[in-house]
Amino acid sequence: MSGAWPGLDEVAARAAGDPRGAAEEVLALAETLPEESAPEFLDRAARVFAARGLPGEAGRFFGRARELEEARARSLGLPLVGEEAHRTFVELAPSGAVGGTELCGHLRRLAQHPEPGTAHRWAREAVCAVLGSGVVPADFVPELVRVAWAARLDEKTEKRFVADRLLREGLMPRAPLPVWADLEIALRDAAADDDELFDLLLAARPEPGPDTAPELRARYERRWRLLVGQAAGGRPLPPGWYRSIGPLRLGDMMGLASDAGDRLFPRPPSPFDPETDPVARRADPRPHPLDPAHGEQAPSWHSNADFLLVARKIGEDPRVRRDLDAFVRDLGRYDNVDYPSAVRKMLKREPIRRALAEQFAEWRDDCAAGDLDGLASSLPRLVPMAEAVAGSRRLPMSRDASGTALVDGVAVTDPVEAAWRALRAGLPEELRPPGSWDDAYSVVLHGDLLTLALKDGRIEVHGPGGVAHERELPFFGYERRWLTWPGALLPWFDGTDLYLSRVFRGRAETYRVVGDGDLELPDGERLPWPRSAPQVPVTFPGADGPVLVSLDGDVLRMFADGRRVARRRPFTGVPPGFWPHLAPVDPDGSAALRRLERDAVAGLLDAALAGERVLDGELARVLPELTDAGLRDTVRTLLDRAAGHLRAALRLCDALGRERPAGSPGRIRSVTGLRAGRHIDQVPAVRRLAEMLGEAAGSGPAPGSPRPLGEVEPPDVNDLLFGVLGGAALLAARPWTPEYQRLKARDRLGAFGDTPWGDGSGRWRRLPFRPTGEFPSGRLWRTPGGAMITLGRSAIEFAPAGGFRDFALPGWTEESPPRPQGWGGAERIARFLRLLDERGPAPCDVSAVRRLAERTGLPVHTAASAAYGFPFTLGRENEAASLPPEVAALYRDPATGELLRHESWHLDDALREALMPDEPEDLWTVGLAVDKAVAWWEREGRRIAWPGAAI
């Protein structure tokens, strides 16, 4: 073996007696050789000495050979590691002549090799040779990864290769701590994927040696237990394994919890359900499951929708249920959509019918519960459904098929009563939140201790006597995501220890904060969890007795006299168990709320129906003791909401044909017995406008020209519906009018017939203006004949004496002629509606239309549009298809049969108003009021330039 190098065998023979001297001789011989031969000589010497059991000297020769080789390679631009050097390394490794230091140096040189693929193969051979000798170097993994990078190989794969080798060769117990750290993810993934490797990891308890310090030994043990816990998956572990890991940093503990799942925190046994526990102000307040997600739009389902597909998916996809609910809430949105037909078609599918029956049972319960919050959730569903199925009651079909079963039998809570009971019982906003409430992102009540987690990384614990504990959350700055994202950890204090709890994937989790911010698993069989009374009696300031308050998950309920007076979902305020310890924000204001009478609340709702300014004034008059701005805003918001619910509740009563609640506020109460239905919101708005104009008309003598009186809060009136009640009645009486359109017309007649606009007195008119300057809506004027208010691009004028005088208004250009009040009168409208019920649609006489055209000179199709409307528009195809042939012919060119172009909607409205007989009975006996219409045309219509008309 050494024949090529004379003298090497003799020196090696002397090495047994004098190793040091023999080594010096070999090194001296190397110095005499040419520089290109010396490394090969030293490698050969290393093999010889290693074979003779002298690994120390062999390693010395190998190291000197690499020094000489590297120097020559750098000077000549050669590879730092040749094949001979690599083979020498692999041969020396089993003897121990080369170890961790030499391996790391060898790998560093290989990382610079000009052939990365070859270098990577040699690197793995070198690593396996050293590991095969039983040596696990501390820092070799990063060096091996660099070689892999040079070869454009994946770091994860390289580490997995090493982890697999160490586990299978049983070397992990003696591996240094840096190796455990370098291979942490690879060991976890390998053991998680392979049962054999998991068993090997479980058996690889670190054995760092007898001289290892206890603290370092504990770190080894902890690292191993953590890895096993993370890799366990569904595999069982010895009892107490996870707890024995000890405290971990927050991120590490969360990772362990995610991997361990139910083995770390078993799911709670019934009946304990952490989702319904009183842990308030969660990071993700949960709305009703049917509430739309952010950005979701109602589906465009009409009578042509594929309800069979909906029925198939409704039990599988929660989105379909939300779509169904959105469709229900959107019923009636578009005027040209036949929603009743869509509902009937939808209810032919049993899965849909079953789902709606279940959901509407909840809405009916909510509507009857007695509080405003129940009305808020139920009325947006009950009202549109009741209106959609109203026309189906006359059809020969079952209640289930028509949809009437969904809404029949509902008991409608009186919103006035509900608002009164809520104010008398008490409002959470009457109690002052503790400490730094506005800066808290979570709050948890445990017993009498309320823990606020603040946005600056502190916790503040309040007890009955004030602040009981404060401390920093050291991990808040760098692990904030675990504390603030939806489903986050909630800090809470039990009087001794600080805990972090959460509900994650349906299970309760709790960790104890120890030391400088580490987390550990609590001891004991019972999981620590914030606990407080599910129901507490609370006596509000000024009350004679308590109300019962409960918090179920994020749903707050309040009960007084055995009935629910409030429900808030989601509730994000102070948990009610702590309310007895809170001070009132406005004791006198609270006491005044307790003394409120129902009539006073009805008056406040009457003011709310009139607008914000009226409500503010009435609130100051009725409740002057209410001085806290926040509480006053809360009361004001409640009254405003109650006014909205009152409109919807009366609308529901009208759709169901029910009597309205007694004692409704005057501005919305029916004074004629007519039902407003869909247009109930116009009743208080028009009445408020009439009040304003009546007061303005009485403010001093009439001027010669309009005089501004100032700006007011304009009521939300729909002035486009002014002066067209006769036309609405005429269209409602057509034989081919769809039932759903007929019902809408009845509501319009009932609503405006119950207001001054529909009294037929002739004291009102609408002035369509085009402003050329700044004319905000809500400007009030005293006019020569009375008073006027501007409403955007138009104005409404009231003349108490019934006479109007023309005038010029600077900055305004008349857009079209004034529209008079037209046909109306409550008694006349009531007669018309009764006749429509008793006699059905009025007869159709096309000869009257032809007489109208002949006498006025209007084209026949223009006269037909005025008399019968123009149904040839988008969404009204069914109506157009149902026209009698003789009526349809009126709209077509007699010579070609082509549909003639529609001309003027303004002319249609004005002429149709004149075609409605003054006496409703005449519509069934005489027909269209052609003489009246011709007289109007000669008197006024002919002189007007109608927009869009060809005449």
Report how far Cα 741 is from the mean position of its chain's Cα atoms: 35
| Residue-level pLDDT at 283 | 43
pLDDT at 266 over 90: no
**Which sign, positive or negative, has the C-alpha torsion 819, 823, 824, 829?**
negative
pLDDT at 487 over 70: no
Share of the chain above pLDDT 70, in %: 95
- CA dist., res. 692 & res. 696, Å (int): 6
pLDDT at 277 over 80: no
Q: Could you tell me the CA-to-CA distances from 775 to 545, 769, 790, 793, 812 in Å, in that order?
A: 54, 11, 8, 9, 9
| Residue-level pLDDT at 383 | 97
pLDDT at 258 over 90: no
| Residue-level pLDDT at 3 | 44
Q: What would the pLDDT profile of 727-749 be if each residue is shown by its tens digit?
A: 999 999 999 999 999 999 999 99
Which residues face 513 on adjacent strands? Answer: 519
Question: Which range among 203-212, 299-308, 595-604, 684-693 shows the weakest confidence by mean pLDDT?
Answer: 299-308
pLDDT at 270 over 70: no
Q: Could you tell me the CA-to-CA distances from 695 to 691, 751, 757, 890 in Å, in that order?
A: 6, 23, 16, 49
| Residue-level pLDDT at 877 | 80
Q: Tell me the pLDDT of the chain averaged across its residues.
A: 88
- CA dist., res. 657 & res. 650, Å (int): 10
The alpha helices in 369-411, defined as continuous H runs, are 372-390, 399-402, 404-407
| Residue-level pLDDT at 795 | 92
pLDDT at 951 over 70: no
- CA dist., res. 345 & res. 348, Å (int): 5
pLDDT at 115 over 80: yes
pLDDT at 4 over 50: yes
Confidence of residue 141 (pLDDT cuts 50, 70, 90): very high
- What is the average pLDDT across 807-812? 81
Q: What would the pLDDT profile of 293-342 be if each residue is shown by its tens digit?
A: 666 677 777 767 888 999 999 988 888 898 899 999 999 988 888 889 88
| Residue-level pLDDT at 10 | 74
Query: Closest Cα partner for 688 from 615, 765, 602?
Result: 615
Backbone φ, ψ for residue 44 (5° rounding)? -65, -40
- What is the average pLDDT across 790-807? 90
Query: Closest Cα partner for 907 from 879, 857, 942?
Result: 942
| Residue-level pLDDT at 284 | 47
- CA dist., res. 522 & res. 500, Å (int): 11
Q: How many CA atoms lie within 13 A of 79 on its CB side?
A: 15
Among left, alpha and beta (phi > 0; psi -120 to 50; other), residue 892 is: beta
Q: Could you tell me the CA-to-CA distances from 134 to 82, 131, 251, 428, 586 in Å, in that order?
A: 25, 5, 34, 71, 79
Most confident of 58-62, 300-304, 420-424: 420-424
- CA dist., res. 101 & res. 143, Å (int): 11
Q: What would the pLDDT profile of 6-53 be if each residue is shown by its tens digit?
A: 667 777 777 777 778 888 888 888 887 887 788 888 888 888 888 888
- 3 state SS of 61: helix
- What is the average pLDDT across 561-569? 90
| Residue-level pLDDT at 30 | 80
Residues 6+ apart with CB under 8 A from 832: 729, 733, 749, 920, 923
Share of the chain above pLDDT 90, in %: 57
Residues 6+ apart with CB under 8 A from 464: 448, 581
pLDDT at 838 over 90: yes
- What is the average pLDDT across 891-909? 92
| Residue-level pLDDT at 33 | 84
Question: Which range among 134-148, 226-240, 275-289, 625-639 shows the weakest confidence by mean pLDDT?
Answer: 275-289
Q: CA-based angle 641:670:682, to the nearest 5?
A: 55
| Residue-level pLDDT at 360 | 96
Return the amino acid letter for 733.
A
Q: Does residue 575 have a cis bond before it (omega within 30 degrees)? A: no
Question: Which range among 391-405, 406-420, 793-807 shows the weakest confidence by mean pLDDT?
Answer: 391-405
| Residue-level pLDDT at 261 | 72
Confidence of residue 798 (pLDDT cuts 50, 70, 90): very high
- What is the average pLDDT across 590-612? 96
- CA dist., res. 820 & res. 822, Å (int): 5
What's the DSSP call for residue 247? -
Note whether 347 and 392 are within 8 A (CB).
no
**Strands 490-493 and 555-560, sheet pairing:** unpaired
- CA dist., res. 622 & res. 554, Å (int): 34
Q: Could you tell me the CA-to-CA distances from 329 to 293, 386, 412, 779 in Å, in that order?
A: 15, 11, 18, 36
- CA dist., res. 103 & res. 88, Å (int): 12
Question: Which range among 299-313, 552-566, 913-927 shows the weakest confidence by mean pLDDT?
Answer: 299-313
| Residue-level pLDDT at 700 | 86
| Residue-level pLDDT at 614 | 96
Question: Which range among 170-174, 743-747, 834-838 shows the weakest confidence by mean pLDDT?
Answer: 170-174
| Residue-level pLDDT at 2 | 42
Element (H, E) at 537: strand 535-538
| Residue-level pLDDT at 560 | 94
- CA dist., res. 560 & res. 424, Å (int): 9
The number of beta carbons lying within 10 Å of the beta carbon of residue 308 is: 11
| Residue-level pLDDT at 280 | 39
- What is the average pLDDT across 862-886? 89
Question: Which range among 67-81, 189-203, 421-435, 876-890 shows the weakest confidence by mean pLDDT?
Answer: 67-81
Most confident of 395-399, 485-489, 634-638, 938-942: 634-638
| Residue-level pLDDT at 538 | 96
Cα torsion at 265, 271, 276, 279 (round to 10°)?
A: -60
- What is the average pLDDT across 613-641? 97
Q: What would the pLDDT profile of 384-407 be if each residue is shown by its tens digit?
A: 999 999 887 776 667 777 788 999
